[in-house]
Structure 1
Amino acid sequence: MTISGVYVATFPYFGGWSPARIVRVIRPKVHAMAAAQGVEITGDPIVRLHRTPLGDLVVVVRAEATTTRPPAEVRAHAEYMATEHESTHPHLAREITEKLEVL
């Protein structure tokens, strides 16, 4: 069974890069991260800069994706990553969740 969904990843922004360069540099990293997790990116990644409430800039990537992993495993991994994100960047995690719910 194939599961379709949205793959989300965040990366630090080091400054000074144009939007085109960010996309060029981030795209292979997103595909590699997703592949390591058993996920295939099926759409063009949407990349944007996001300022956290603490003033830091991060690169947020969203892409349509599929996986053949069992649904329970996908759900467990998503919950684990959400917990990790929440503990590392609580304000950003909350904002990303709110924005994804709007989509």
Structure 2
Amino acid sequence: MGLCGACFVLLDGRPAPSCDLPLWSAAGKQVTTIEGLTPHPVQEAFLAEQAAQCGYCVSGILVSAAALLASDPHPDAATVAAALDRHLCRCGAHQRMVRAVVRAARDTA
């Protein structure tokens, strides 16, 4: 468990795999799911870059991307790729996803 990254949520603003998260560890903390991000600039950038293909991994990647942009508003492509490295995308859309996050950072500058 915890290997694909599809279930990531924000736990006090930091990405965490919900499938591997004991319930007691979330007590008293703010848990934000993909639904709590809406609307977010990275979602718009994903649409513009056609970054999502099958959709399986997208919610976890969007959550991690939002956390990255909150901590580093202007990441370069290498930083984005490293932040998304924990997520498995079998469709091969990873490079488009990196471009989308960089675009979201640029568009919100």
TM-score range, shorter chain: 0.3 to 0.5
| TM-score normalised by L of structure 1 | 0.35
Between Structure 1 and Structure 2, which shows a larger proportion of strand residues? 1
